[in-house]
Amino acid sequence: MTADQAAARKASVEDAHTELLHELERAHVIIRNALLLMSPCQLMVWTERNARDGVAGQCLSRADERADTIARAGGTVR
């Protein structure tokens, strides 16, 4: 790999990192908004389905895990 190729690859990875981080930040807000609109029954069903699918976290929306990941990646949790 040439120096130019390496630089292009590094720039591509950095761009992807930034894009993925921004998407995760947006998803965090969208999920929080959805939580605020759900009834207790809907929240219970969501919790059960997360457990069934093996994606349960500290809270039903995995907000803490998502916030930690965003912070580690240099993002901001709103």
- DSSP class per residue in 2-61: -HHHHHHHHHHHHHHHHHHHHHHHHHHHHHHHHHHH--HHHHHHHHHHHHHTT---SSTT
> With the CA atoms of 24, 21, 16 and 4 taken in that order, what torsion angle do they form, in degrees rounded to the nearest 10?
-170
- Please report, for the chain, the start and end positions of each structural domain, with discontinuous segments joined by +: 3-72
pTM for the predicted model, two decimal places? 0.78
Q: What is the pLDDT along the chain (78 residues), one digit of tens a residue?
A: 898 777 778 877 788 899 999 999 999 999 999 999 999 999 999 999 999 999 998 888 999 999 999 999 999 888
Fill in the DSSP letter of residue 77.
-
